[in-house]
Homo-oligomer: A and B are copies of this chain.
């Protein structure tokens, strides 16, 4: 436009805010949703925490549910394409790839507030079918697909025993889901019930699975 007139112009403050808003709101929503639950978080609280008025929230997200969907996408959904690429380029053994997957998930979801989103969705799925659908499409399906590909890779290379990968994935999913649910429900309320070392638990689970699955072990 007028880029020729001012050499190092920056967007007007108003403009910069406009671009920053969605992120600020998403961040606020993530924190509050995880802390208080989706239903228990008032839209206005989210707006306040992001430093804007109620109306502004609805300027960027047509509804509270859409805000939730965006939070899912921002914190989890967008990881799958990246992971998919990583997997494609991975050079090592399938065991290592599997370990890498679980590790990545732990680092980027399990150990972060995003884990609260997973817990939330599983908790509220019944009450918000549209969110459940969205989650199924954007998270569950890609997630399963990714893990299935990893298992299939191992089977194809002869590293893993032949198996029904579409069922076997649950063996990987289960400990992850468990960890997130536990952390954000009983773990959050009764410190005594908290898990001591989730990462070690995860390690153990994966080792167990690999030993059970690798050809050499049998």
Contact = CB atoms under 8 A, between A and B. Distances in A.
Interface of A: 36-37, 39-40, 121-127, 129, 132-133, 135-136, 140-141, 144, 166-167, 170-171, 173-175, 177-179, 181-182, 184-186, 188-190, 192-193, 195-197, 200-201, 204-205, 207-209, 211-212
Nearest to A126: B37
Contact of A171 (B132, B133, B190, B205): B205
A182 B190 contact: no
17 contacts: A122-B181, A125-B185, A126-B188, A129-B189, A136-B192, A141-B193, A167-B196, A170-B178, A170-B201, A171-B201, A171-B208, A174-B174, A174-B205, A177-B177, A177-B178, A177-B182, A211-B212
Contacts of A126: 36-37, 40, 184-185, 188-189
Instruction: Describe A's contact surface by its main secondary structure.
Output: helix
Number of copies of chain A assembled together: 4
- Most chain-B CB neighbours within 10 Å: which of A127, A141, A197? A127
Contacts of A121: 185
A77 to B, nearest CB: 15
A174 B175 contact: yes
Nearest to A179: B174
Contacts of A173: 178
